[in-house]
Each structure stands twice: as C-alpha cells, then as structure tokens.
Amino acid sequence: MAISLSKTFLSIAHQVFPSEKCRPVSFSGREPQLQRTTSMGFATRSLRMPRVSSKTSGSLFSSIDELDKETREERRVADVWREIHGVDDWVGMLDPMDPLLRSELIRYGEMAQACYDAFDFDPFSKYCGSCRFTPRQFFDSLAMADHGYVVSRYIFATSNINLPNFFKKSRWPKVWSKSANWIGYVAVSNDEISKRLGRRDIVVAWRGTVTRLEWIADLMDFLKPISSNKIPCPDSTVKVESGFLDLYIDKDVNCRFCKFSAREQILTEVKRLLEIYQLEELSLTITGHSLGSALAILSAYDIVETGLNVLQDSRAVPVSVFSFSGPRVGNVRFKERMEVLGVKVLRVVNVHDIVPKSPGLFFNENVPLLLMKMAERLPWSYSHVGVELSLDHKNSPFLKETGDLSCAHNLEALLHLLDGYHGKGHRFVLASGRDPALVNKATDFLKDHYLVPPYWRQYENKGMVRNEDGRWMQPERPKLDDHPEHTHRYLKQLGLASHH
C-alpha cells in the first residue's frame, strides 16, 4: 500500500505537534501566533492546509522529509507481504519501523477493532451479545468497505463457561440466544484487494472485552495441557490457560449458535475457504485484541498443529497472528511448540498496559486489588510467544496523563501509537494522519484541548426509535443466522464429526 505524495502532504497538513510548553488551544485568546499554527488540529477544517510558525517549522519539514523517504521507496505490499507476514520474524522491520508493516498492522488492527464497534453490549438491548449487523453488511455498516474484505462467517462462543465479566447478557426475557455471544468473524479479501496484497488473505478476527478489565481476574485459573481437550498435541507438557481453552472448546448443544464450539466453527470455515481458493496464493492472518489476542494465538496454533493450513498440493499456507494488547496464553513449552510449528506472532503492546503483563505480572503496591487476588492463585510459568512491538503512550503528544488502566489497554489508542511510531528514540509523528479523534471513541484519553468528546461512540437514543404510533421502542432486527449446513460436512472431513 504505497503512500502517494499528495496523501503524504495531506497528512502533514492535518498534523499538529502539541506539547505542554506550546499549548495548541489558547482559551485566553493570547499567543495568536502559536494558536494559528496548532489550534484544534484534527477536529476542525481549519487545519486542512499546513500552517507553520517559525517555532515549529523545522520539525514539520523534517517530518515531511521523513515521510517522503518512505514514499520514495515505492515498495508494494504485494512484493513484500511474506516479510510483513513474519517469514523472517520481523527482524530489522521494527526499529526503525517499516512503514508498510506499520500500515498493515493498523489495517489488521482496524479489523480487530471492528469486533468492538459492531458488538451490541447494551444489556437493555434485546440483541445484547450479538453483532449489530448482518455478515453481508458488516464492513459497509462500519464504513470499512474500502478494506476490501467480505465476511464469510460469524463466530459464536458459549457464555456457559465461568467468565462472568466477559460475556454480555440481555435483560430481556426472550432473547436471540440464552447462552451465545458473538465473538468474531472470518473474512476473505476480495479480488481487488487480493491483487494489491499479492495473495488471497483469509482473516480471522476475535473480539476482546469491551472496556472493563475484570475478566483477567476471572480467567487466570490454571494452565491445562492443551491435549486434554482433544486438540492434537504430541507433547502433554504444552499447556495453556484453561479459561482461554474453555472459551475456544466449549459448546452448548441446546443453542443453535453455539452447538458448535468456536474451534469447530473456525476450523470448518478455514478448511472451506482454503478449498475454494486452493489454486491461489494464500495467507491466513489471525488478529485480536486483549482476550481476542489469546484466542487468535490459540486458534493459529490449532490450525497449524492440525495441519489444516497444508493444501492438497502440500503447500503450507503461512499463518500469522497480529496480536494487540494480548495476555500471555500458555507456558514456555507452548511458546516453543509455536516456534517449531512456524506460527508467526507479532504482539503490539503498550508498555503501560497491565494485560500483556498478565499472568506473570510483577506485583507491587501499585497493582489494583483484583490483580493481587489473581496473583495469589497463579503458577509463574506463563510465557509470551512471538515477537513484541512495544509502544509507549507517553510518547504521543496527543494523549493525556492518566492512571486509567483501560486507556492504556485501549485498541484505538494503540493504533494511534502505531501510527506515530517510527522506531525507538524516533520522534512521534503520525504517518498516515489516521484520525486521533478515534482514540476517544471509548476513552477519555485525548488531551482535553482537542475538544473531542470522551466516549463519543454511541447510538442515537440507544437504538430506540419511534414507531408509527409515536411510541419509543427497540426495532426488531433480521433473524440472526446461525451456522451453515456445510459445517457438518467439513467437521466430518476434519474427523470431528463424532461429537455430533
């Protein structure tokens, strides 16, 4: 995805370089020179053209140079997608930050973010716990049509497992499902974007938790041999956190949405898609934020361990995980097994986020009570997998100082940090001009003087509409599809059909 020159200049035009010393928005009306340069930034139209004061012009132009260089290289994703996908374990691509890798990471991060934006988490909604949109209209509804993917299947998980702070339940007595929660989707790149990407890309995106972090305390019970749950693994010392495994494996035969486990849904759908596109160049990219990252890693492992990614002509489709703000998933043996299998994992984290430090966090008096509680019952043998790309929200001049843990864990904030990251010690400069206003979708993290409302992502009247009688009510939605007929066929092919 080459950045055109005109687009580069437009991004620069949008940029502002706030700092505590030269506060962009002067409420007093003094400092007109500074104010003209930096006022409002992204939140108004006035910054469409670059306005440079003598004080900041140096840095502005150096940043244009910087981006120019990136543009001049004219590398195309189609040519380097295997490197971006981690074939060389991202060696030399993270510092300085490879611009194509950065924009691809943001692209996949947005596909993980889509799981939040589409999720109905209002307990007063009849459809709480479901996806607000039909699979066909998924990306259109989120104004993400230009991502060029088509959702081929939704994934559901059962809330019957012990994760009270993860699952969302409607207060309505008659709901779309008593035990299911929508937990992600499988999507395929369309012809146009596949050409640009150099391959047909199958994406699995797993939803994480909405905002609250209490789910960590629920989860961290104990490590369980992965083979104990009928996931094939030659080594019984390979263990993963049992909560993640349960979420991935459990099903409820009485519910039409989770009569298949998330695992079964994923495996059958990936098998089906690989069959359809087996004559093309292919990639499998699995992404997720927070708990979704754990499921991404687990499902990537599963797909490769079961050999699902090996086509009939013996080609192995590369499987990579782009993980955002993810916790540790398993023990060191799990990490080693992932390496043997060649599952590539790039984990993007904010150093101030506690979730990637869990389990195995260094506990001290600053740690909230719920984490202390968690620590008491933990073995200390968890290990991260893959390669870490560690960012620091204190480097972004757009963000305010806050002790709010959910800010440091927020995915939109992390994508903002990615956009400004050029390598260790490099100045924070937004590369794509990605809208910093997105940070405040579900946080109060942007500095107040940008005047972006905190927690601004909300639905008109909480989804209530007036009917023809003038009464306010929740509109009915189209009947939700559960699972395609062909699931059984693919389960048989996978040797999993005996469970039904």
Residues classed as catalytic: 290, 353, 409
In angstroms, what is the minimal distance from the CB of 410 to its own copies?
Answer: 16
Cis, bond preceding 454 (omega within 30 deg of 0): no
434-438, long-range: CB within 8 Å, 24+ apart, which pairs? 434/106, 435/42, 436/41, 436/42, 436/398, 437/42, 437/43, 438/412
Q: Does 345 bind its own copies (CB under 8 A)?
A: no
Work out which of 192, 313, 376, 460 binds its own copies, going by CB under 8 A.
Answer: 460
Q: What is d(CA 147, CA 386) in angstroms, rounded to the nearest whole number?
A: 26
* H or E element, residue 336: helix 332-341
| Under rule CB under 8 A, residue 482 binds its own copies | no
Q: How far apart are CA 430 and CA 418, in angstroms?
A: 8
User: Does residue 189 touch its own copies according to CB under 8 A?
Assistant: no
Between 18 and 47, how does the x/- string for binding to its own copies read (CB under 8 A)? Answer: -------xxxxx-----x---x--xxxx--
Question: How many Cβ atoms from other residues are within 10 Å of residue 222's Cβ?
Answer: 12
Cα distance between residue 1 and residue 79, in whole Å: 10
Whichever of 120 and 269 has its CB closer to its own copies, that residue is 120
Q: How far apart are the first and last CA of the chain?
A: 45
Q: Least CB distance from residue 435 to its own copies, whole Å?
A: 5
- The count of other CB atoms within 10 Å of the CB of residue 164 is 11
Residue 459 binding its own copies, by CB under 8 A? yes
Residues β-bridged to residue 399: 446
Q: Which is nearer to its own copies, 122 or 419 (CB)?
A: 122
Helices then strands, each counted (H, E), the chain: 16, 13
**461 contributes a contact to its own copies by CB under 8 A:** yes
Q: Smaller CB distance to its own copies: residue 122 or 250?
A: 122
Q: Which is nearer to its own copies, 44 or 57 (CB)?
A: 44
Decide if residue 423 touches its own copies (CB under 8 A): no
Binding map of its own copies across residues 81-110, x = CB under 8 A, - = no contact: ------------------------------
In contact, 118 and 132? CB cutoff 8 Å = yes
Report how many residues bind its own copies under the rule CB under 8 A. 47
Query: Does position 222 bind its own copies by CB under 8 A?
Result: no
Nearer to its own copies, 353 or 412 (CB): 412
Residues contributing to the site for its own copies (CB under 8 A) = 10, 14, 25-29, 35, 39, 42-45, 48, 122, 124-126, 143, 171-173, 435, 437-438, 448, 451-454, 456-464, 466-467, 469-474
